[in-house]
């Protein structure tokens, strides 16, 4: 039998920088399965987290393709989660990264927060196409 999952608030903050979300999910543990943890995490995000919490998480999220920002925030390692998610951007041509930076600025000016997308498995060019369509 697997042991119970008891995520701490600091470990949850590495996934999502919303303090109210992390506190609520941590307080609900321990969880019997990863599926139970994910179910509660989703429910807390969609039904208990105020808009200010969403904006807190968005503000802490690295911009897609902003490798210098990632270096400043996480050092040379980029942080385990961001490094994996943005791996495709690390090898992208400079022109694509510059265009992502331009579109990130346009997006923030229009919507008031940064462009966020699940970057895992997507190339920098794919992410650029997504931001342009939004």
Residues carrying an active site annotation: 61
* Residue 126 CB neighbour total at 10 angstroms: 12
Please report the sign of the dihedral spanned by the C-alpha atoms of residue 12, residue 18, residue 19, residue 23: negative
SS3 (DSSP) at 31: strand
C-alpha span between 70 and 47 (Å, rounded): 30
């Amino acid at each position: 039998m697997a042991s119970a999952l008891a995520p701490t608030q600091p470990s949850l903050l590495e996934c999502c920088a919303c303090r109210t979300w992390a506190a609520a999910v941590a307080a609900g543990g321990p969880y019997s399965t990863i599926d139970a943890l994910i179910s509660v995490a989703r429910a807390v995000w969609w039904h208990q987290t105020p808009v200010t919490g969403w904006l807190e998480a968005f503000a802490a999220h690295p911009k897609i393709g902003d490798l210098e920002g990632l270096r400043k925030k996480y050092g040379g390692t980029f942080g385990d989660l961001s490094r994996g998610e943005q791996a495709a951007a690390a090898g992208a041509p400079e022109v694509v990264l510059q265009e992502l930076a331009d579109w990130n600025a346009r997006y923030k000016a229009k919507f008031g927060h940064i462009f966020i997308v699940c970057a895992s498995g997507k190339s920098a060019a794919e992410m650029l196409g997504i931001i342009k369509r939004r």
